[in-house]
Structure 1
């Protein structure tokens, strides 16, 4: 990995006391699970290797400076973490990526620093990057540039797991299983300790999924509790107990979720029926006359995503979210309640450029195709939460951008929080009461002034109001400011 360019690569190695972001993402995405072997290729000082070993993973690392000894042993999962961006020679970059791919048995996890970090990298232009005063090199990647490079070298269809993190899978089955976990929710089984409660758990599954589960889909304990019943007896007991209306709702839900998955899969390269996870195969059989019919309907859904009129209509018809003249804004808790074409819109952006780990509200632009994930970490506790960061992807060009407001003295903030949520969200009444009180106090009469912290504070002072949690009260020592009379 060390070529003739001789920059001080060793100085870029960070001493970690916790898992790196890419390793954490791989754990969240269940790429790092008990039993797999892990190789950190270019491990630097070995922080991830130590952390993974402490977590009982069979992890090893190799680095040309800090761990050059011993053979490099292939592993199920290979981590190539912030290595490509410090290599000056583009050809060496390709060879390093190729070697990491050869060592991976199941999946290669590639991560690099991205272009939005350029303000953190000071130095002179050198080759296709920057040479710092410490003689370290950085090539900052665009999100789409990284995904394209990994695809070209590996020959595999790659998925952006997060900004700056790309997965390259050795098999289509593994890639499709990953996509399915992101789109088709895992079953949440009710606790069971006897036959009666086990049957209740199966009834609950059927009402949520719209079909009976196969034995292979059940938790082992549940399957053992029901082992003495034959299939027809179990079906009769469950169908007798299930609410027909809930089962119908479950069928509709599974139908839409399956269409969403198949549309995303086409966007990313659809495989044959046999490569689908078992639960998805069973959903297809339960909800459609054939896999061909399901694929055709999913194809039509993907085509609708290109239709501006259809997308705008879906946004207007959405039961969740705040619609503005340019975009629909939806809280994270309400995203799954958007029309399916809008869920597809968000998923396509996430697969193309990576969905950030921290976000609160998604913005779907209806003039063109662009998605932004906005982070308001204090949404639930702050009556007017402040924006901390925004990560955006333009779907036609796959250009990405990131803006941090963490150090800003006058951050954008939100009003009318209830509009971003599902109407049945438990917090909606509290947020709506606050909005109503603010409207009565005249705080929204100058909407062009209240979008930032300083403007909002000025309007609170003008109206003689202050906030105590999610309650609007009169400020001490101020008289009421009457609102203009409206006829």
Structure 2
């Protein structure tokens, strides 16, 4: 028997926004948008994202069947389908809505939905494949990987989990691979140039940052105009004279590893044609490898090593950044680029599979099994023992994810030995290490199993008659 669906009060789920929603904010930060780019918010609710995007200079419009029924539904470079799928109770209509939004997207469709870990925030009863709320609205909650799989199956293109509950569906491989390349090597930008000398300085900066001379097609038009009177050989000579050879060599080594990381990640998620690879990556391959075939073979071997438990464990144990434990490697986000390439690939694969959260401080990579957790310590830099605010974890074998919030906890987990999560040359390491050494001398680490939470740590501080003033350990003062 075909199940009959009622028309739910979907418009009651629309909320008033002052700023951008999380999916729209992520899209603005992740995608190469310029002022004037056309954006369509399909199912825009009360139009908060549309107004915020217009304020930022985008050509944004919105349509909603209740709040903006006369809105224009025309193709746009970027189409937002923000928290729409989860309020449609009819699976057939849900799919049709996704397809209509996909047809309107010229470059990328941004899809977001509420996730299963939000179940305790919703009061209601099970209905069909979702929840019938007390307000007579419907909520279909997704697992992070499930949402990506659903969008892929419907659009028939490979999609990317940009963050938990946010999926990007690109119209072509070139746009998708461009996004992946920016995740590994963000665009460095070019220095402003007003004359030949400053234009040469800008090219020098590129050489020192990328490890190779830029091609003409990579340069901004103003720099091309300023350097047009120089022959390529003359420009190369002038630039190499000014560049620091140590910086160039170091950047070339890093760029070669980044290229391998990109190619391995591309294979993990489906390698497209050579022509779809972003131009900067193509030029890196030409500069740092004998051939594209050789680069791909090395990248493929790197991906295979990710399956080797012993190899991964050795890489973690030998990492110059991060804290290696009996079960995992913990690395602060600003030291992530310093860990071995195979471990960077590990973290990138996890993020592409289930989405990396927007707020996180430390990533945990398990070597017993394959799984990643992004841990949010908002006050890592200012708190000598930062408290854990939230954790988002994904199992790479099952692609199941989970989210834990400690916002309402009165006894949160906290960190010790902060310097161990960073690279040795991080400027904050000496300060953190001095604190750890003082705490060890005071006897605070004699019972490690007692100090992992706020209450246990405070008891040990009292026992040892110590207190913290910033990142200094002092004797506890007694009143009276």
Whether the TM-score (by the shorter chain) exceeds 0.5 is yes
Q: Alignment length, in residue pairs?
A: 476
Are residues 399 and 73 of structure 1, via their aligned partners in 2, closer, same or farther at CA, if it must alter by over 3 Å?
same
Partner of 2:439: 438
Partner of 1:346: 347
**What SS does the corresponding residue of 1:362 show, helix, strand or coil?**
strand
State how far apart, in whole Å, the 2-side matches of 1:322 and 1:426 are.
Answer: 17
Partner of 2:133: 132
- The answer as to whether partners of 1:39 and 1:79 remain within 8 angstroms in 2 is yes
- The answer as to whether partners of 1:327 and 1:364 remain within 8 angstroms in 2 is yes
Map 1:96-175 onto structure 2 (within 5 A). 96-175=97-176
State how far apart, in whole Å, the 2-side matches of 1:361 and 1:141 are.
Answer: 25
- 1:33-75 Cα distance to aligned partner (Å, 9 max, x none): 3232111111111111121122222111111111112552121
Are residues 70 and 243 of structure 1, via their aligned partners in 2, closer, same or farther at CA, if it must alter by over 3 Å?
closer
Partner of 1:484: none
State how far apart, in whole Å, the 1-side matches of 2:356 and 2:227 are.
Answer: 40
Q: Post-superposition shift, 1:103?
A: 1.1
Partner of 2:371: 370
Q: Post-superposition shift, 1:245?
A: 3.4
Partner of 1:455: 456
- The answer as to whether partners of 2:107 and 2:171 remain within 8 angstroms in 1 is yes
State how far apart, in whole Å, the 2-side matches of 1:70 and 1:467 are.
Answer: 58
State how far apart, in whole Å, the 2-side matches of 1:88 and 1:385 are.
Answer: 42
**What SS does the corresponding residue of 2:478 show, helix, strand or coil?**
coil
- The answer as to whether partners of 1:108 and 1:167 remain within 8 angstroms in 2 is yes
TM-score normalized by the length of structure 1: 0.95
Partner of 2:82: 81
**What SS does the corresponding residue of 1:39 show, helix, strand or coil?**
strand
State how far apart, in whole Å, the 2-side matches of 1:57 and 1:87 are.
Answer: 28
State how far apart, in whole Å, the 2-side matches of 1:5 and 1:234 are.
Answer: 70
Moved more, 449-458 or 176-185: 176-185
Moved more, 86-95 or 418-427: 86-95
Unaligned runs of 5+ in 2: none
Moved more, 205-214 or 329-338: 205-214
**What SS does the corresponding residue of 1:168 show, helix, strand or coil?**
strand
State how far apart, in whole Å, the 2-side matches of 1:109 and 1:283 are.
Answer: 30
- The answer as to whether partners of 1:75 and 1:103 remain within 8 angstroms in 2 is yes
**What SS does the corresponding residue of 1:10 show, helix, strand or coil?**
helix
Moved more, 425-434 or 238-247: 238-247
State how far apart, in whole Å, the 1-side matches of 2:177 and 2:217 are.
Answer: 19
Unaligned runs of 5+ in 1: 479-487
**What SS does the corresponding residue of 1:77 show, helix, strand or coil?**
strand
- 1:431-455 Cα distance to aligned partner (Å, 9 max, x none): 0000000000000001000000000
Partner of 1:483: none
- The answer as to whether partners of 1:378 and 1:386 remain within 8 angstroms in 2 is yes
Partner of 2:47: 46
Are residues 53 and 200 of structure 1, via their aligned partners in 2, closer, same or farther at CA, if it must alter by over 3 Å?
closer
- The answer as to whether partners of 2:161 and 2:352 remain within 8 angstroms in 1 is yes
Matched, 1:242 2:243: yes
Q: Post-superposition shift, 1:329?
A: 0.3
Are residues 332 and 70 of structure 1, via their aligned partners in 2, closer, same or farther at CA, if it must alter by over 3 Å?
closer
- 1:112-147 Cα distance to aligned partner (Å, 9 max, x none): 000010110111111111111111111110011100
RMSD: 1.5
Q: Post-superposition shift, 1:335?
A: 0.1
**What SS does the corresponding residue of 1:279 show, helix, strand or coil?**
helix
Partner of 1:394: 395
Partner of 1:482: none
Are residues 54 and 205 of structure 1, via their aligned partners in 2, closer, same or farther at CA, if it must alter by over 3 Å?
closer
State how far apart, in whole Å, the 2-side matches of 1:36 and 1:196 are.
Answer: 34
**What SS does the corresponding residue of 1:108 show, helix, strand or coil?**
strand
Are residues 453 and 155 of structure 1, via their aligned partners in 2, closer, same or farther at CA, if it must alter by over 3 Å?
same
State how far apart, in whole Å, the 1-side matches of 2:166 and 2:239 are.
Answer: 44
- 1:205-247 Cα distance to aligned partner (Å, 9 max, x none): 2233221011222334433332321111011122233343333
Map 1:19-418 onto structure 2 (within 5 A). 19-69=20-70, 71-418=72-419
State how far apart, in whole Å, the 1-side matches of 2:315 and 2:299 are.
Answer: 16
